[in-house]
Structure formats: structure tokens, C-alpha cells
Chain A
Amino acid sequence: SHIVLMLADDMACNPRNPKPATVFSHKNMELNVYGDDVEVDYRSYEVTVENFLRVLTGRIPPSTPRSKRLLSDDRSNILIYMTGHGGNGFLKFQDSEEITNVELADAFEQMWQKRRYNELLFIIDTCQGASMYERFYSPNIMALASSQVGEDSLSHQPDLGIGVHLMDRYTFYVLEFLEEIHPASQTNMNDLFQVCPKSLCVSTPGHRTDLFQRDPQNVLITDFFGSVRKVEITTEAISLDGDLAGFESKLPKDELATESLKYAEQLPVAQIIHQKPKQKDWHPPGGFILGLWALIIMVFFKTYGIKHMKHIF
């Protein structure tokens, strides 16, 4: 699978971090979340609302490397996790700008219309986080938030050796829950909704499933986490004829009957690869050519005498 990580602050390599290159979830230093395989794609000042929306919608300059692109097609399940300071309807980026819930909803609608996702799980851990998923209107989106509108999300435990709180409560308990999940687990979304009740989180986590086509009971956690693919091993040959009747019946009735596009087809690759050298489109107008050659012939005959004309005609 593909992870695009946008970190505005570099806490692991912050000069004030007494344990450099590590970010622990708890002061007992059991789990280093900034491990060896963390790759930050957008760092410090590159984390802007514009870049985030460009990653989502795919309107990226052609020079962007593949690691900074979303590279999703209409069969991809996307997980988006956002955390930081926020409020009723916005999330703060870089101390100077905000992304609003309307912008986010419109970005997701663009993604739906361009068939850039199959199902989308949106998790947000900010103050009044539920306000961020209130405005979604595209199908197949499931959203979780750490607190309702009017509530603050609180942080978990400080590490007095470092001097800051290491993690937020909701994230801490979700991380604890997800550490138990392995690729074969059958835990479904309803269990995820129960993570961090009010007694532990102080704020009330919320979720939204009305846009989601399937019943959350039937949605596995591994549909979004762990890059688990359905692999079926068989020893007999299967012929892939045109008989797709069995496949089509699985689609729910109200889903838009759009043709599915592979990722590759979203780009006009064939056109780009087989570009022929451009034919010359412009030709001088006939009147000009006629006039020019008439002049040249007139000059020629004026100089060399009209007597040559009779040799031509």
C-alpha cells in the first residue's frame, strides 16, 4: 500500500528532544511510533492546506515524485487521519491557515467524481472534531472523531523528562486498540466505534456512517488498516470470459452506474507515449504564393526581355 505522511513539526529531530529520533506513545517508552520505516513525504512548510487538497484531488504538478502522490483508483480504500488544533468546522495548519469542513467535503466529492476512492475512512483527533465530518456528502465515507461539537479533545499523559504531552487520549487508545489487530483479524468497525469511551477520553468520540453503503458490522478493520488484500489460492485454471453477471449483482442498487476506470486510464498515457512529431499545420495562403511568384516571373522577364516568353508559350 502507500502511505503519504505530512508532518508540520519535526519532533523526533527537534533539538529539545532528549531522546532524538524517537517519539514514544507513553513515557514508559514501550512503543516508538517514529520507527525505522517512517517516511515523511511532506515536511514542515510543505504541509499546507493547498498541498493537502492537491494530494487528495490529484491536481499535482507533473514534477511531483510518486511518493508524494496519492496514486489511488476506484478500487482503493483510503484512510485519512488528521490531528492537531481545531475548532468548530476547521483544523489549523501551520499556525497561519485553516482547512474548513466545507473544503474537505468538496475535496472528497471531487475524489468521488474522479473515482479516486472506493471507500474512505476519515479519523480526526482535534477539539470539536465531529464538526469536520458534518458536511460530507459523498458516498462511501465513514468518519470518526475524538470529540463532539462544543467539547475539547484532551491529551493523554505528559512525559516530565521531555516536558510535553506525548500523545492525545483518543489517538492513544485507538493506537492501543490497533496494536491488537493482525492481518487475519475479523474485528469490525463497530469495535472501533467503542474505543475510548467517555470515562477514558473525557470527550465523547463520535462517528458517522450514514454515507457508507455497507453495514459497519460487516466492514473489517483490515479493510482500511494493514494493507490486507484478498488473496485466494487455487490450483485449477479459471477462464475469465465475458460472463460478469455474478459480479454485477453485488453492486448495491443506488450506486452510480459509472464505468470503472483503472488508475492508468485516468492519465492519457497512450497519447503521451505514442506522440508523433507534430505535422506542420500552417501553410502560406495561396494568394501570397501566387503574388510572389508572379512578381518573380515579372522581374525575370523585365530583365531578360520579353522575347523569351514566346519560347515558353
Chain B
Amino acid sequence: MAAPLVLVVLVAVTVRAVLYRSSLAAFISERVEVASPLNAWKRVVEGLALLDLGVSPYSGAIFHETPLIIYLFHFLIEYAELVFMITDVLTAVALYLAIQDFNKVVFKKQKLLIELDKYAPDVAELIRTPMEMHYIPLKVALFYLLNPYTVMSCVAKSTCAINNTVMAFFILATIKGSAFLSAVFLALATYQSLYPLTLFAPALLYLLQRQFIPIKLKSKSFWLYTMQYAALYLCSLVVIICLSFFLLNSWDFIPSVYGFILSVPDLTPNIGLFWYFFAEMFEHFSLFFVCVFQINVFFYTIPLAIKLKEHPVFFMFVQIAIISIFKSYPTVGDIALYMAFLPVWSHLYRFLRNIFILSCVLIVCSLLFPVLWHLWIYAGSANSNFYYAITLTFNIGQILLISDYFYAFLRREYYLTHGLHLTRQDGTEAMLVLK
């Protein structure tokens, strides 16, 4: 399977190299959907230039990336394009290896459940075979590398690609079962953009499952393992933050990075939900609404953890999707990461109800973003409502996509244990409804 992967990687690298040398590169870097105030390349260059002039890069509201990114790009700034292509390739390879391992785990679990007779007798067509699962890792790598969102994000040199790489390595480490590495990568991902904190729960659930520790609140080994993992995670986070203090000998980066993410002062339009509301809100209420909006990201973790505790990788997928919808400055690079997972759940296709409409909505909205931006900013015949309408529609499409997959997943699980042809008590055909 290495050869097709290498081929895919080569094609992806060629596409990116061609785009770097074309005139589209400048156009794409300017798009607000691709570059947000957090991860625009222009701001990284500006921060490094400020540093060369002897000024802290966090003075003023230009640079909102972490000191480790400063360190990385201080030496690699001439090879920036190469760095971003390599990060994309690393992400794809990490996802490939992760999904390969995950397939083995899924298959083993399925075998165990079949032997234990947990499945209903007529679900033969729902059982997954190694044959159909053989090409899934390659498809995942393909979906990530050749996704137009990823390509645009790479050509714009947005540091979202680096965040994606760290998250992909975190997923790889979790699926391989190494708690230490997974805690370290999760700490790195949280350090860069605050929201991967919510991925602590699915990672913990997966590692517990792997260690065969039952998830009961009274179980001592459960709490012991949780404490160990939490301690690893928090210690690595603290160590990384203290290390970044030593780069510039100041704590300036904390309000500039985390304060910026949490308090959302910059209201440049993007594909997220924050900018429009806060542009027209009175100062009096802005703190309250900032809290409400930010809670949205963290809020779904506990209910999903309770519902999906047997399926932590699916939980991770849903959580990454929720992060990329509800975070304060989303870009298409964040969307590309969870879309890469869609081939893993391709066996749910028969249960998906809205997939046609959703894909139409997503494609049309992606095409309408630059059109309505042009109409608003350049032609002056539209206004921000038009652009926000498309943002809203796009996010609704994403949310529907996630909820559709969620429903399909749960439905399949239900069918597996209760049989495909459900009947009510009086013998007529029953319908499954998600409550």
C-alpha cells in the first residue's frame, strides 16, 4: 500500500507546487476564508520582522501565533513553501497510519462481538469485511491531500496546516495506544489553538478502551488512569508554556494568543459565526455573548461522551467537526481535517438521509463565498448580510452533515444489535427516530 500512497503524495505535491508558482497564490492568500487573523502567513512574516527590529512581535494586534511557531519559522522562513508542503504530507501519512491501525481495531472488535453473539442474526450485510476496508486509509490520505480546501490552505501558507499536522499526530499516537505521546501532541495542539482541549475526552475514552479498563464512575483503575493521562497532559502543557516564556522572556504571548482566541476582538469576516454578531452588538452585552458562543464548542463534549463512549474515534471525528464549526476564527483548513475522515464512515452510506442536499449546499456555498465577497466589498451592491447568509448556510450544511453521520452511525449500531428488519409489537414495520 505504500506505492499508491507515494503516488498520491507526489500528485498532491505537484498540484501545490504548480499553484505556488501561479498567480493564484497571491489571490488565495488574501481570501478571508483561508487566512484568519490567527493563522495568516502575512502576520507570521510581520511578527518575525518586528522581532528583527527589536520589538516584541506581540505588541500591537498583528501577530497571534505561539512562540514555538516563531522559533520554527525563524530558521525556515526561506523554505516556507517547502515546509507547508511537508506538513501536509506528514498529516496525510499520519492519518493513513492511524486509520490503518484503527481498521485493525475495528475488525478485531467486530470479530469479538460476533463470537460473543452480540449481533442479531440478519445483519450479515452490515458486517464489515477486510476487503472493503482495505482501501480506506488510502482514501483518507487522498481526501486530505487533494481536498481543494487543503490545497488552498497550503497555498495560502496558513499555519492551520501545522495545527492539522499536530492533531493528526495526536490521533496517530492515540490510536497506537501511547498515552504519553498522545498527551504531548494534544498539549501542543491545545497550546497552538485552544480548542483541542475538548479532544481530551475522546482520547481518554479510546485509551481506556484499549487498556480494557471499564468506564464506570466507581472503578478505581478508571480514575487512576484518568488522573495519569490528565497529569501527563497538563504537565506537558505547562512545560511547553514555560518553554515559550524563555523564547522572548515575557508572558506577552498569553493575552495575545489565548486572550485573542477567547475574547474575539478582531471582527474580520470569516466563515465562522462570531463576526457578524459581535459587529453589531452593544458593548454592554459583548462579554455575555462571547461566553455563550465560546461555551458552544465545549458544551457538546459531555453529552457526546456519554452517548458515544463505546465509539471514541467517531466521537473524536464529531468533536473535531464541532471545533471547526464553532471556533472563533475558523478557516477551510480546519474543515479539511474532519472531511478527511469521511471515507472511514463510508459504510454508513446507506443510512445517510440528506447527503445529496448537503453536498450541494457545501459546494454551492463554497463557490458563493468569493462571489458575495466581491459583491459586498468591491461592487458595493451587496452588504454583510449577504455574506453572513452564506456563512450561516455553510455552517448549517456542516452541522447537518455531522448530525447526519451521527444519526447514521447510531442507527447502524442499533440495527447491529437489534436486527435489520425491525418490527413493532403488533408486527408492522417500525421506524427508527432519533430523539
Cβ–Cβ contact B52 & A278, under 8 A? yes
Cβ–Cβ contact B247 & A285, under 8 A? yes
Cβ–Cβ contact A288 & B246, under 8 A? yes
A280 to chain B, nearest CB (A): 5
Contact of A291 among B74, B178, B180, B246 (CB under 8 A): B246
Does A295 have its Cβ within 8 Å of any Cβ on chain B? yes
Does A230 have its Cβ within 8 Å of any Cβ on chain B? no
Measured CA separation A303–B169 after assembly (Å): 14
- List of B residues within 8 angstroms of A287 by Cβ: 246
Contact of B243 among A283, A288, A299 (CB under 8 A): A288
Cβ–Cβ contact B246 & A302, under 8 A? no
Contact of B54 among A282, A283, A284, A303 (CB under 8 A): A282
- List of A residues within 8 angstroms of B70 by Cβ: 284
Measured CA separation A280–B74 after assembly (Å): 9
Given A302-B180, A303-B181, the answer on whether A295 and B54 have CB atoms closer than 8 Å is no
Does B38 have its Cβ within 8 Å of any Cβ on chain A? no
Measured CA separation A287–B243 after assembly (Å): 9
Q: Is the interface of A mostly helix, strand, loop or mixed?
A: helix
Cβ–Cβ contact A292 & B181, under 8 A? no
- List of A residues within 8 angstroms of B52 by Cβ: 278, 280-282
0/1 interface trace, chain B 55-73, chain A, CB 8 Å (1 if under): 0000000000000101100
Cβ–Cβ contact A284 & B71, under 8 A? yes
0/1 interface trace, chain A 264-289, chain B, CB 8 Å (1 if under): 00000000000000101111110111
Does B362 have its Cβ within 8 Å of any Cβ on chain A? no
Give the nearest-CB partner of A283 in chain B: B74
Number of chain B residues close to chain A: CB under 8 A: 17
- List of B residues within 8 angstroms of A278 by Cβ: 52
A228 to chain B, nearest CB (A): 50
Given A281-B52, A281-B54, A292-B71, the answer on whether A303 and B243 have CB atoms closer than 8 Å is no
Cβ–Cβ contact B246 & A303, under 8 A? no
Does B184 have its Cβ within 8 Å of any Cβ on chain A? yes
Measured CA separation A282–B77 after assembly (Å): 14
Interface residues of B in 176-216 (CB under 8 A from A): 178, 180-181, 184
B243 to chain A, nearest CB (A): 5
Measured CA separation A284–B52 after assembly (Å): 11
Cβ–Cβ contact B246 & A285, under 8 A? yes
Cβ–Cβ contact A285 & B51, under 8 A? no
Measured CA separation A282–B68 after assembly (Å): 15
Give the nearest-CB partner of B242 in chain A: A291
Cβ–Cβ contact A295 & B243, under 8 A? yes
Does B22 have its Cβ within 8 Å of any Cβ on chain A? no
Cβ–Cβ contact A285 & B54, under 8 A? no
A-B contact count (CB 8 A): 38
- List of B residues within 8 angstroms of A282 by Cβ: 51-52, 54, 74
A306 to chain B, nearest CB (A): 13
Measured CA separation A256–B53 after assembly (Å): 40
Does B239 have its Cβ within 8 Å of any Cβ on chain A? yes
Q: Is the interface of B mostly helix, strand, loop or mixed?
A: helix
How big is chain A's contact interface, by range?
10 to 19
Measured CA separation A303–B70 after assembly (Å): 27
Does B249 have its Cβ within 8 Å of any Cβ on chain A? yes
Given A278-B52, A281-B52, A282-B51, the answer on whether A303 and B249 have CB atoms closer than 8 Å is no
Cβ–Cβ contact A303 & B74, under 8 A? no
Measured CA separation A285–B178 after assembly (Å): 32
A243 to chain B, nearest CB (A): 49
Give the nearest-CB partner of B244 in chain A: A288
Interface residues of A in 107-125 (CB under 8 A from B): none
Measured CA separation A282–B75 after assembly (Å): 11
Cβ–Cβ contact A299 & B74, under 8 A? no
Measured CA separation A34–B52 after assembly (Å): 55
Given A278-B52, A299-B184, the answer on whether A284 and B243 have CB atoms closer than 8 Å is no
Contact of A303 among B51, B71, B178 (CB under 8 A): B178
Measured CA separation A287–B249 after assembly (Å): 11
- List of B residues within 8 angstroms of A303 by Cβ: 178, 180-181
- List of A residues within 8 angstroms of B180 by Cβ: 299, 302-303
- List of A residues within 8 angstroms of B54 by Cβ: 281-282
A278 to chain B, nearest CB (A): 7
- List of B residues within 8 angstroms of A284 by Cβ: 70-71, 74, 247
Give the nearest-CB partner of A279 in chain B: B52
Cβ–Cβ contact B71 & A288, under 8 A? yes
Contact of B239 among A280, A288, A295 (CB under 8 A): A295
Measured CA separation A170–B217 after assembly (Å): 106
Give the nearest-CB partner of B57 in chain A: A282
A290 to chain B, nearest CB (A): 9
Give the nearest-CB partner of B50 in chain A: A282
- List of B residues within 8 angstroms of A283 by Cβ: 74
Measured CA separation A288–B245 after assembly (Å): 9
Contact of B247 among A288, A295, A299 (CB under 8 A): A288
0/1 interface trace, chain B 237-254, chain A, CB 8 Å (1 if under): 001000100110100000
- List of A residues within 8 angstroms of B249 by Cβ: 285
Measured CA separation A303–B179 after assembly (Å): 10
- List of B residues within 8 angstroms of A291 by Cβ: 243, 246
Give the nearest-CB partner of B70 in chain A: A284
The residue in A284, A287, A303 that gathers the most chain B C-beta atoms within 10 A of its C-beta is: A284
Would you give 14 A-B contacts (Cβ < 8 Å), ordered by A?
A: A278-B52, A280-B52, A281-B53, A282-B51, A282-B52, A282-B54, A282-B74, A284-B70, A285-B246, A288-B71, A288-B243, A292-B71, A295-B239, A302-B180
Those 6 A-B pairs whose CB atoms lie nearest each other, nearest first: A288-B246, A282-B51, A288-B247, A281-B52, A291-B243, A282-B52
The residues of A with any CB-CB pair to B shorter than 8 Å are 278, 280-285, 287-289, 291-292, 295, 299, 302-303
19 extra A-B contacts, CB within 8 A, seeds A289-B71, A303-B181: A278-B52, A282-B51, A282-B52, A284-B70, A284-B71, A284-B74, A285-B246, A287-B246, A288-B243, A291-B243, A291-B246, A292-B68, A295-B239, A295-B243, A299-B180, A299-B181, A299-B184, A302-B180, A303-B180
